[in-house]
Every structure is written in C-alpha cells, then in structure tokens.
Amino acid sequence: MKKTISEVDPRSLAGKTAVVRVDFNVPLEGREVTDDRRIAESLPTIELLRGAGARVVLLSHLGRPDGQAKEEFSLAPVAARLEELLKAPVAFVRAPRRAEVQSAVRALPAGGVALLENTRFLAGDEDNDRDLAAFWASLGDLFVNDAFGVAHRAHASTSGLAEAMRAKGGQSVAGLLMARELRFLEEALRSPERPFTAILGGSKISSKIGVISALLARVDHLLIGGAMANTFFRAMGLATGTSLVEEDSLAVAEKLLGEGEGRLVLPVDCVVAPELSDGAPSRAVARESVPGDMMIVDIGPKTRAAFAEEIGRSRSIVWNGPMGVFEIEPFAAGTIAIAHAVAAACERGALGVIGGGDSGAAVERAGVADRVTHVSTGGGASIKLLAGGRLPGRDSLDDRA
Ligand code: ADP
Ligand code: MG
C-alpha cells in the first residue's frame, strides 16, 4: 500500500511547497480545452494542499512534443481553464530557464498555485533524466503524484521525481485521484466479490493478450466483444467475411479458447454491414452466418441480452474496450447496452470499474458515467494494471507506514 496525501498531517504542510505531477493531457481544439475531466479530477488534491496552506507547483505533459517547445502543445489553455475551475489565480510559468522557474515558485503566496509549461518540452522528461528530476524536486518539500494516466511510464516527472524527492529527504506520496484509481483497479480486484465478470472488446487482440490471460485466471466469466471476438471466431473455424481479424494472433486465440473453456464467452450473433459508414444497411446474423462480403461491426441483440444478464448476476465487473464500432451511431447499440447493464448492476450494489480511453468515452456517451463505481482516467495504465503489470509511477511512491 502506498502512502496518500490524505495521510500526511495537514499541519505539516502549512508554508511548505508541494510539487504535484498531474495528468492535464486534455484534448484541445485550437486554444480551447474540449474536455476538462482530467483537470477536474485532480482538483480535490490541489484543494487539499491549498487548504492546508501549502504552495502548489503543478507539472504535466500534453501530447507528444518530443522534447521541443511547440506552441500547439502549450499548457497555456489548461492554465486558463484551471483558473476557472479553481476560482483562484494560477501562475503559468512558460520560461524553461531554471532561475526563472525558481523565482516564480518563490513568489507564490501560501496556498498559491503555479503551473509549469509542458514537461515534455524538455527531452529529459521522457528520458527520465536524473538532473531534471533533481531540479524539479529542488522546487519543493514533498512530491505528490496524481497522474495515474502516465503511471505506466518511468519519466523524470513521475518515478524520477519521486526518487529524487526521497533522495533529498522529502516524502513522495499518492494524490487523491491516484489513490482512488489504485484502490478500485488494484485492491478491489485482488479479492473481488463473486461472481466476478470481465468484459473485453476493442479493436486489437494483440495489444490485450496480457489482459485476457491475466483476467482469465481471476474471473468467473470473461465476455468478449468488439473486433477482438472476430479473431476468436476465426480460430474456431467460423467465416468472418471482411471483418477486422488479426491473422497473427490466431494461434494465441486458439490457446486462450482452450484455457478459457467454460469461462470465456463469445457473442452468438453479430451486426454486419457492407462498410463502416453511417448510412450502410446493417442487419443481425448468427455468428455462423456472416456473409462473405460483410463485416462484423457490433454484437447482436441476442448477445446483448445474454451479456446483460451475466453482468446483472455479477458482484464485481471490469470493462475495457467497446463492443463495436461505437463511433458510428448505428453500430453503437451493443456498447451502449453494456454500459447500461453495468450501470444497473452498480445501482444494485455491484462494483463496476471501466478502464480504457474509448470505453470511458462510450460510458460518457451512454450518459451513465455517474452511475458506475469508477471510470478510470488512464487508458494504458489501467490496462497494464489489469494485466498484472507494474506501474513505475506507483511503485516509486513511499509505502504506507
Ligand atoms: P479502449 O481505448 O477502451 O482500450 P480500444 O482502443 O482497444 O479500446 O478499441 C476501441 C476501438 O475498437 C474503437 O475505435 C472501435 O471502433 C473499435 N472496434 C470495436 N469493435 C470493432 C469491430 N467489430 N470492427 C472494427 N473496429 C472495432
Ligand atoms: Mg483506445
């Protein structure tokens, strides 16, 4: 268990400076933040520190500027949105020069907030440069990591900074969002209430083989949808028409079918269409009857009902990956149905955790984000955790006493 900022005595924070890594990697259109969820999710951590009278120095990356200062990846629009959400001034520190960063931090009043420009404008961040991590650590008295979305990366602003802070005698602790993500994804799944059902979908089986095997070992049922199911269909000898299939993964799919006997549940029917477009005529067919000139774009109505029933019987549910090409409205029904089934189960007391960028967007679109237990802010990090992998951003934090 990792130490969390809420376990640090607030009296010890007054007048101190907290260096806080957040994940403000939000979508922008021009200079407008189009989705501020990630900013909003870290507000409790920032408010806790300010309330205790600490100065808050925020670090975040945005996009992939590859170690160069590129205006399109500037955090300036994020600083503006953060000011609105906090209803307090935010000192945005553009200057890359260390002396200027230091004086901007020193000028902060108690409870004041500064946001430094995109950490990835400096090549040292992704290279996990020790000197850069030590500089960031030198700006404060403790390090708070609230950036679950990049916890699977060992960068200077994540694990490097945690180690540098410890080296100079300061604490490195989890922020409230980080702690919440870990609690739901890691701890709750370690000893889940049963039945425990996982739902996996999305486009690629190859990127999620680790998750499939790790979950198969722990769940009572693993429901598979999305294009991922197509590769399993082919491994079962079914015809899949023009559907997206990963030929290279057929052998793995076959092996997983064997391992998952009795627990791995595949769709019994699917929605097929001649092409991926809004106006394409689509219809439901049994999985044995996919026409040669059509592609599978969603799970069918029988599968939706069967999956919803299984979800309804479950006490713990993990979901990653949409059931179909949900970006195209007529092919979103399967994904939306699963979102509603998970929400209904949560309302009856089940634990429902959603991981993955597209799955999170789907739950949001279905309008049930507030009705499920937890929607993770981290795509790659949540998948890595579900697969039993290690997260350097988490591992580098102080252990709870
Ligand atoms: P997440 O981001 O939640 O981890 P993925 O990135 O793995 O999910 O997969 C999401 C993508 O999978 C979506 O863009 C969706 O259109 C695609 N997808 C789902 N089902 C199919 C299908 N049957 N054929 C093609 N693409 C699909
Ligand atoms: Mg995705």
Do 348 and 316 contact (CB within 8 A), yes or no? no
Q: What is the dihedral of CA 44, 47, 52, 58, to 10 degrees?
A: 100
Say whether pLDDT at 189 is over 80: no
- The pLDDT score that the predictor gives to residue 244 is 95
Active site residue 170: no
- pTM of the predicted structure, to 2 decimals: 0.90
Ligand 1 proximity of 246 Cβ (cutoff 6 Å): no
Strand 269-273: give its sheet, edge to edge: 283-286, 269-273, 295-299
Catalytic residue at 38? Answer: yes
The C-alpha atoms of residue 21 and residue 144 are separated, in whole angstroms, by 6
Please check the confidence at residue 205 and state whether its pLDDT lies above 90. no
380 is catalytic: yes
The band of 134, judged by pLDDT with boundaries at 50, 70 and 90, is: very high
Tokens of 55: 């100065």
CA 314 from centroid of its chain's CA atoms: 23
The second-level CATH assignment, the architecture, of 184-386 is: 3-Layer(aba) Sandwich (3.40)
> What SS3 state is found at 392?
helix
Residues of the chain with CATH 3.40.50.1260: 5-176, 184-386
Is the Cβ atom of 392 under 6 angstroms away from ligand 1? Answer: no
- Closest by Cα among 195, 224, 206, 174 to 324: 224
Which residues lie near ion ligand 2 (Cβ < 5 Å)?
357-358
Ligand 1 in reach of 357 Cβ (< 6 A) = yes
269 in contact with ligand 1, CB cutoff 6 A = no
How confident is the prediction for the chain on average, in pLDDT? 95
pLDDT at 57 over 80: yes
| Number of C-beta neighbours around residue 279 at 10 A | 9
Q: Which member of 3, 16, 204, 315 is catalytic?
A: 204
Instruction: Say what the pLDDT of residue 379 is.
Output: 83
356 pLDDT above the threshold of 90? no
| Answer CATH for 5-176 from 3.55.10.10, 3.40.50.1260, 3.90.1150.10, 3.30.390.10 | 3.40.50.1260
For residue 287, give Cα distances in angstroms to 109, 128, 200, 307.
64, 48, 18, 15
